[in-house]
Amino acid sequence: MLKKLLPCLVACLALLTTAGQSVSTEAQAADTPNIIVIFADDLGYGDLGCFGHPTIKTPNLDLMAAEGARLTQFYSASPVCTPSRAALMTGRLPIRSGMCSDTRRVLFPNSGGGIPAGEVTMVEALKEAGYATACIGKWHLGHLPQFLPTSNGFDSYFGIPYSNDMDRVNDAPKGRESFWNPKVEYWNVPLMRNFEIAERPADQTTITKRYTEEAVSFIEKNKDGKFFLYLPHSLPHVPLFRSKEFEGRSLRGLYGDVVEEIDWSVGQILDTLRRLKLDENTIVWFTSDNGPWLTFNDHGGSAGLLREGKGTTWDGGMREPSLCWWPGTIPAGQVNAGLGTTMDIYVTNLALANAARPTDRVLDGYDLIDMLKGKTGSPRKEVFYYRGTRLMAMRVGPWKAHFVTQESYTGNNKAVEHDPPVLYNLEVDPSEKWDVAADHPDIIDAIKRAAERHIRTVKPVPSQLEIPLK
Ligand code: MG
pLDDT of residue 421: 98
3-state SS, residue 133: strand
pLDDT tens digits, one per residue of 318-349: 999 999 999 999 999 999 999 999 999 999 99
What is the DSSP-derived secondary structure letter of residue 227?
E
Catalytic residue among 53, 81, 143, 324: 81
3-state SS, residue 191: strand
What is the DSSP-derived secondary structure letter of residue 38?
E
pLDDT tens digits, one per residue of 77-101: 999 999 999 999 999 999 999 999 9
pLDDT of residue 69: 98
What percent of the chain stands above pLDDT 90? 90
pLDDT of residue 265: 99
3-state SS, residue 184: helix
**Alpha-carbon span 165 to 197, nearest angstrom:** 17
Q: How does residue 411 score in pLDDT terms, banded at 50, 70 and 90?
A: low
Output 109 or 413, whichever has higher pLDDT.
Answer: 109
pLDDT tens digits, one per residue of 143-181: 999 999 999 999 999 999 999 999 999 889 988 889 998
Say if residues 207 and 243 touch (Cβ distance below 8 Å).
no
Q: Which of 392, 368, 390 is nearest to 379 (CA)?
A: 368
Q: How does residue 185 score in pLDDT terms, banded at 50, 70 and 90?
A: very high
C-alpha 82 to ligand 1 mean position (Å): 8
3-state SS, residue 141: coil
Residue type, 211: Y
Q: How does residue 24 score in pLDDT terms, banded at 50, 70 and 90?
A: very low
- Rg for the chain, CA atoms, rounded: 23
pLDDT at residue 19 tops 50: no
3-state SS, residue 199: strand
Say if residues 322 and 71 touch (Cβ distance below 8 Å).
yes
| Residue 81 annotated in active site | yes
Q: Quick one: average pLDDT of 264-292?
A: 98
pLDDT tens digits, one per residue of 33-80: 999 999 999 999 999 999 999 999 999 999 999 999 999 999 999 999
Q: Quote the mean pLDDT of the chain.
A: 93
**Alpha-carbon span 289 to 38, nearest angstrom:** 10
Q: Quick one: average pLDDT of 17-39?
A: 62
pLDDT at residue 3 tops 50: no
C-alpha 386 to ligand 1 mean position (Å): 15
| Residue 12 annotated in active site | no
Which contacts of 172-177 are long-range, i.e. CB under 8 A and separated by 24 or more positions?
Answer: 176/296
Give the contacts of 391 (CB within 8 A, at least 6 positions apart): 384, 385, 403, 451, 454, 455
Q: Which of 167, 159, 150, 157 is nearest to 108 (CA)?
A: 167
- CA 464 distance to own-chain centroid: 21
When mean pLDDT is compared across 143-157, 204-218, 283-297, 402-416, the lowest value belongs to 402-416
pLDDT at residue 226 tops 90: yes
Q: How does residue 407 score in pLDDT terms, banded at 50, 70 and 90?
A: confident
pLDDT of residue 412: 67
pLDDT at residue 22 tops 80: no
pLDDT of residue 410: 61
pLDDT tens digits, one per residue of 126-142: 999 999 999 999 999 99
Q: How does residue 7 score in pLDDT terms, banded at 50, 70 and 90?
A: very low
- 10 Å CB burial of residue 168 (0-12, 13-18, 19+) is middle
pLDDT of residue 31: 75
Write down the pTM of the prediction: 0.93
pLDDT of residue 1: 41
C-alpha 115 to ligand 1 mean position (Å): 17
Catalytic residue among 140, 233, 237, 402: 140
C-alpha 319 to ligand 1 mean position (Å): 13
C-alpha 138 to ligand 1 mean position (Å): 10
C-alpha 262 to ligand 1 mean position (Å): 15
pLDDT tens digits, one per residue of 198-210: 999 999 999 999 9
